[in-house]
């Protein structure tokens, strides 16, 4: 079972300073001190926003000024309803944000202290708290999760920590990673979160990468869209433009293209031929007689397995899409 950073709910008590490490005491006095220390460690405090550092990995693509302004106006009218979470910094009287970056930005516009839960967390626990809170409150899009996974992996976090942070299986992490590796970061940021656009659609766009300059085509296509276009409209505009560019390209026209598949030693194993109508795999029996025989015996079953896997992935994507897609 994955780690859940929210197993111990915060206790809403009056503001108090961060406790020093207590001397171990026995009996009722020791028990009382331990109880008070636990309550204080999980309390909600009023903290000057200037004391809080905004660092760590970003788990959201959209962080627009308009959204922050709306949140600031809501806080100005109704107060801060949900606290952020911070952890003590290495510097005295300083904190590092765990989650609640948008709320912190909004309160900096409004002015005044920010309500925050202070927890002493290591880097792994902080990341898990950030990911779990974001999933519970905001349901990040497929591509936002994929970018977050990429950043966590590049930062050196272990697979188990990443899975716990997003509530995904090992296969789920892999499915996101396969897509994000094929897409330029600039292209993703041009399109934005595109809520409601799932793995299949992003995968279809990624498949066009060898045929067209995706970022260049996207920039030109989006220039004609209004500023308030929805994420789905932005994605569909880019995808349609890239499809048209791919069709007009000669890279996969009737003449087709071919590439060689090599083993670790650089020896050619097979030739992959692709044109507008078919995909072919050619193994030279003279060069690889044993592999050719092995492939011949298993080719039909392997292709059926691959086709079934493709069908299952498409069905999973279809179930995850909204009804209006």
Q: Is residue 68 a part of any domain in this protein?
A: yes
**Residue 176's closest CA among 191, 190, 189, 166?**
166
H helices of 17-154, in order, are 27-41, 65-78, 101-110, 123-138, 142-154
Which pLDDT belongs to residue 66?
53
217 touches 265 (CB < 8 A):
no
1 and 126 co-located in one domain: yes
Distance (Å, whole) CA 168 – CA 111: 38
Strand partners, 46: 115
| Residue indicated by tokens 């890239």 | 242
44 and 107 co-located in one domain: yes
The Cβ-side half-sphere exposure at 271, using a 13 Å CA radius, reads 8
Q: Is residue 186 a part of any domain in this protein?
A: yes
308 and 208 co-located in one domain: no
Q: Is residue 325 a part of any domain in this protein?
A: no
196 touches 325 (CB < 8 A):
yes
18 touches 179 (CB < 8 A):
no
Strand partners, 273: 258, 280
- The tally of domains found in the chain comes to 3
115 and 11 co-located in one domain: yes
41 touches 120 (CB < 8 A):
yes
**Residue 259's closest CA among 240, 275, 236?**
275
The 3-state DSSP class for residue 273 equals strand
Q: Is residue 162 a part of any domain in this protein?
A: no
- 199-206 and 231-248 helices, crossing angle to 10°: 30
Q: Is residue 273 a part of any domain in this protein?
A: yes
DSSP secondary structure letter of residue 21: P
225 and 264 co-located in one domain: no
Q: Is residue 287 a part of any domain in this protein?
A: yes
Q: DSSP readout, 144-181?
A: HHHHHHHHHHHTT--HHHHHHHHT--HHHHHHHHHHHT
CATH code where residue 67 lies: 3.90.1530.10
34 and 124 co-located in one domain: yes
How many CB atoms sit inside 10 A of residue 113's CB?
A: 14
Helices and strands (H, E) in the chain, number of each type? 12, 8
The residue out of 232, 249, 266 marking a domain boundary is 249
147 and 133 co-located in one domain: no
Which structural domain range is residue 220 located in? 141-152+167-249
197 and 69 co-located in one domain: no
Which pLDDT belongs to residue 292?
85
Q: Is residue 296 a part of any domain in this protein?
A: yes
In terms of Cβ atoms closer than 10 Å to its own Cβ (0-12, 13-18, 19+), residue 184 is: middle
The 3-state DSSP class for residue 95 equals strand
Q: In tens digits, what is the pLDDT along the chain, a chain of 325 residues?
A: 455 444 444 434 333 444 444 444 444 445 545 544 554 455 788 999 999 988 766 656 554 555 788 888 889 988 998 888 889 988 888 998 888 888 898 999 999 999 998 888 888 888 888 787 776 666 778 998 898 888 888 888 889 988 888 888 999 999 999 898 899 989 998 998 888 899 999 999 999 998 889 999 999 999 988 888 888 999 999 999 999 998 876 544 555 677 888 887 778 888 888 776 788 888 888 888 888 889 888 889 989 999 998 888 888 766 654 444 3
Q: Is residue 34 a part of any domain in this protein?
A: yes
How many CB atoms sit inside 10 A of residue 99's CB?
A: 23
């Amino acid at each position: 079972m994955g780690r859940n950073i929210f197993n111990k709910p915060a206790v809403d008590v009056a503001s108090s300073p961060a406790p020093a490490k207590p001397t171990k005491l026995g009996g009722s006095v020791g028990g009382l001190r331990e109880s008070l220390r636990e309550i204080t460690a999980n309390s909600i405090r009023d903290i000057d926003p200037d004391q809080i550092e905004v660092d760590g990995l970003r788990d959201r693509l959209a962080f627009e000024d308009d959204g922050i302004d709306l949140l600031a106006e809501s806080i100005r009218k109704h107060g801060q309803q949900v606290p952020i979470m911070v952890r003590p910094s290495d510097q005295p009287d300083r904190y590092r944000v765990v989650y609640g970056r948008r709320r912190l930005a909004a309160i900096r516009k409004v002015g005044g202290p920010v309500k925050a839960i202070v927890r002493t967390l290591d880097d792994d626990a902080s990341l898990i708290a950030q990911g779990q809170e974001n999933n519970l409150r905001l349901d990040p899009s497929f591509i936002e999760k994929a970018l977050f996974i990429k950043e966590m992996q590049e930062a050196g976090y272990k697979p188990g920590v990443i899975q716990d942070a997003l509530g995904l299986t090992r296969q789920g992490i892999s499915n996101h990673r396969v897509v994000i590796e094929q897409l330029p970061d600039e292209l993703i940021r041009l399109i934005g979160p595109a809520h409601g656009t799932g793995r299949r659609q992003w995968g279809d766009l990624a498949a066009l990468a060898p045929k067209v300059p995706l970022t260049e085509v996207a920039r030109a296509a989006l220039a004609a869209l209004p500023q308030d276009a929805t994420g789905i409209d932005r994605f569909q505009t880019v995808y349609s433009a890239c499809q048209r560019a791919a069709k007009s390209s000669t890279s996969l026209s009737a003449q087709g293209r071919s590439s060689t598949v090599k083993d670790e030693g650089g020896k050619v194993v097979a030739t992959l031929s692709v044109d507008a109508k078919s995909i072919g795999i050619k193994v030279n029996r003279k060069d690889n007689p044993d592999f050719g025989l092995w492939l011949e015996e298993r080719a039909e079953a392997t292709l059926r397995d691959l086709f079934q896997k493709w069908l299952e992935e498409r069905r999973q994507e279809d179930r995850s899409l909204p009804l209006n897609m």
